[in-house]
């Protein structure tokens, strides 16, 4: 008899949790499961603002996938997906192809540049281990280069485009790192400028206004200059051009202005909004009973406010196991589970010892919020790799 083939694309928060659930629920020979991901490691996107600024080691942001799954039950394939062909039930990889009976798509997001000229070419983004390594090295290089030609103050000007959570968390780390770099290169701190530029009328649009004020105050005290209600309209090799016609000369532009789903989603012919598919209550793509879409590739409406839930790791890690259970149920011809999101709250770091957060109706700031952020990060390490991983990669202090 035919053993169903299950293929999971992406070993991020969603894909990894799906794989772990499948290895737990499936009986021997009930299905063949293959997990495909671009890198041999799973990386913690929620941690990337730190190695990007250089305030933590890169090694604390990733872990080998084969250490996290049972290789007797899950086949891990390190490869880049090039095409998804739902009509043929096939996935094309850079070095081959896989056919499937059931598919889980968890390929994560991509930076969204909204077609703003020059961003794709001249700005850097916080999206992967390689991209944050490049940002860190670029920042360090600017300090060295400034020493060689001290007329180039643009080398000490850092522009972060977008004051969403990614932008805010990154400027918090950058502001912590700058004094270290100034000491190391014997440069006056007052020469260094950090701009966080936000198009909306407020930083962290949609978040609690009191917490937004608190965050801005903490970051301003560390030397961050905000330009709010000011859109970046172009990025050039010299810096950025703002909607106000002001130009900021900067050798370092980091774009944190938004994310979209993966382009492969649209190319596969799924009906999508910016690379995100509006899935049904069982997390399936409309019209495809065998294709489950999770994490940043999926779109779910929060009916309480009639707006889509933001793409978060929290969402992805809750969806993964439900998609996996629903594949097991499909194989066993049992009824599928309905997914409901449990909002556990939001906590954003503002650099060392500082954070803001909302948990239920409780607002948190300062040390307590920062401790909670650490607990959340360590919890993820514990979920995927148990005590030993939590101890090895967790930041307890
Ligand atoms: P991802 O975790 O992005 O995983 C996608 C996987 O697919 C990766 O392993 C990737 O290598 C792989 N992949 C991609 N393309 C291909 C391809 N073509 N072929 C093969 N493999 C591929 N969310 C929170 O809830 N809390 C936070 O504190 C938080 N902090 C964040 C901080 C930063 C700096 C950033 C950038 C994001 C943060 N987020 C946070 C958002 C969160 O990271 C994402 O929502 C989450 O990673 C989505 O999970 P996912 O499983 O959909 O995709
Ligand atoms: P985002 O879309 O949430 O924020 C992007 C910001 O850039 C917005 O405030 C937007 O107004 C601004 N922007 C857009 N175009 C601009 C322009 N031309 N000029 C200036 N500003 C512009 O993106 P993000 O911050 O990367 O977050 C992505 C997802 O990841 C969100 O769902 C977020 O909740 C999640 N996330 C969560 C955390 C956390 O919980 N700690 C941290 C990081 C990211």
Residue appearing with tokens 């066993």: 332
User: Any idea which ligand is nearest the CA of 159?
Assistant: 2
Share of the chain above pLDDT 70, in %: 100
**pLDDT of residue 218 exceeding 90:** yes
**CA 112–ligand 2 middle distance (angstroms):** 10
In DSSP notation, 119-130 reads: HHHH-B---SHH
Mean pLDDT (the chain, rounded): 97
The atom number, within ligand 1, closest to the CA of 127 reads: 36
The pTM (predicted TM-score) of the whole model is 0.97
List C-alpha distances in Å: 211 to 216, 218, 348. 9, 11, 10
267-307 confidence digits (pLDDT tens): 999 999 999 999 999 999 999 999 999 999 999 999 999 99
Residue appearing with tokens 């035919």: 2
For residue 193, what are the contacts with CB-CB under 8 A and spacing of at least 6?
156, 157, 158, 225
CB of 107 sitting under 6 A from ligand 1: yes
Question: Which of 60, 341, 53 shows the shortest CA–CA distance to 196?
Answer: 53
Tell me the CATH architecture of domain 119-257.
Answer: 3-Layer(bba) Sandwich (3.50)
**pLDDT of residue 396 exceeding 90:** no
CB of 160 sitting under 6 A from ligand 1: no
119-257 matches 5-38+79-111+260-343 in CATH topology: yes
**CA 127–ligand 1 middle distance (angstroms):** 8
**CA 44–ligand 1 middle distance (angstroms):** 7
The atom number, within ligand 2, closest to the CA of 200 reads: 11
Q: Residues with Cβ within 6 A of ligand 2?
A: 116, 161-167, 169, 197-200, 205, 231-232, 256-259, 310-312, 346-348
pLDDT band at 397 (very low <50, low <70, confident <90, very high): confident
Q: In terms of residues, how long is the chain?
A: 397
pLDDT band at 383 (very low <50, low <70, confident <90, very high): very high
Set 169, 247, 266, 281: catalytic member? 169
Return d(Cα 156, Cα 178) in angstroms, integer: 10
Give this complex's ipTM.
0.98
The protein residue with its alpha carbon nearest to ligand 2, atom 14, reads 257
207-217 confidence digits (pLDDT tens): 999 999 999 99
78-113 confidence digits (pLDDT tens): 999 999 999 999 999 999 999 999 999 999 999 999
User: Any idea which ligand is nearest the CA of 258?
Assistant: 2
**pLDDT of residue 343 exceeding 80:** yes
Return d(Cα 249, Cα 239) in angstroms, integer: 4
Annotation marks residue 173 as catalytic: no
Tell me the CATH architecture of domain 5-38+79-111+260-343.
Answer: 3-Layer(bba) Sandwich (3.50)
CB of 313 sitting under 6 A from ligand 1: yes
CB of 36 sitting under 6 A from ligand 1: yes
CB of 15 sitting under 6 A from ligand 1: yes
Q: Is the dihedral of CA 291, 296, 297, 299 positive or negative?
A: positive
Task: Domain ranges for the chain, please list them.
Answer: 5-38+79-111+260-343, 119-257
**CA 147–ligand 2 middle distance (angstroms):** 34
- What token pair was written down for 272? 């999508």
**CA 13–ligand 1 middle distance (angstroms):** 7
């Amino acid at each position: 008899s035919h053993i169903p083939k299950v293929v999971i694309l992406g070993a991020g928060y969603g894909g990894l949790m799906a794989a772990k659930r499948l290895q737990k629920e499936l009986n021997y020979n009930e299905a063949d499961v293959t997990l495909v991901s671009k890198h041999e490691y799973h990386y913690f996107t929620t941690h990337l603002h730190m190695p990007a600024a250089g305030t933590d080691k890169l090694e604390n942001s990733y872990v080998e996938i084969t250490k996290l799954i049972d290789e007797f039950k899950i086949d891990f394939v390190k490869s880049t997906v090039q095409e998804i062909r739902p009509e043929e039930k096939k996935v094309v990889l850079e070095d081959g192809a896989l056919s499937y009976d059931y598919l889980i798509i968890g390929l994560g997001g991509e930076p969204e540049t909204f077609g703003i000229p020059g961003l794709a070419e001249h700005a850097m983004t916080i999206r992967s281990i390689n991209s944050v390594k490049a940002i860190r090295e670029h920042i360090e290089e600017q300090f060295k280069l400034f020493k060689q030609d001290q007329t180039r103050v643009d080398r000490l000007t850092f522009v972060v485009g977008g004051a969403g959570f990614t932008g805010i968390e990154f400027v918090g780390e950058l502001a912590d790192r700058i004094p270290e770099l100034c000491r190391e290169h014997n440069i006056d701190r007052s020469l260094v400028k950090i701009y966080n530029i936000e198009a909306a009328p407020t930083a962290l649009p949609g978040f609690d206004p009191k917490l937004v004020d608190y965050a801005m105050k903490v970051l301003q005290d560390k030397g961050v200059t905000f330009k709010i209600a000011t859109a970046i309209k172009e990025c050039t090799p010299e810096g950025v051009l703002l909607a106000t016609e002001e130009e900021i000369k900067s050798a370092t532009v980091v774009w944190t202005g938004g994310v979209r789903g993966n382009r492969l989603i649209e190319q596969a012919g799924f009906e999508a909004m910016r690379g995100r598919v509006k899935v049904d209550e069982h997390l399936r793509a409309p019209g495809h009973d065998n294709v489950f879409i999770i994490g940043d590739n999926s779109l779910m409406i929060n009916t309480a406010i009639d707006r889509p839930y933001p793409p978060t790791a929290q969402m992805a890690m809750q969806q993964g196991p439900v998609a996996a259970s629903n594949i097991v149920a499909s194989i066993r011809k049992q009824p599928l589970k309905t997914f409901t999101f449990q909002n556990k709250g939001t906590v954003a770091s503002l650099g060392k010892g500082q954070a803001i957060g909302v948990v239920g109706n409780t607002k948190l700031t300062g040390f307590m919020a920062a401790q909670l952020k650490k607990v959340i990060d360590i919890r993820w390490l514990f979920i995927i790799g148990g005590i030993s991983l939590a101890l090895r990669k967790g930041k307890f202090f």
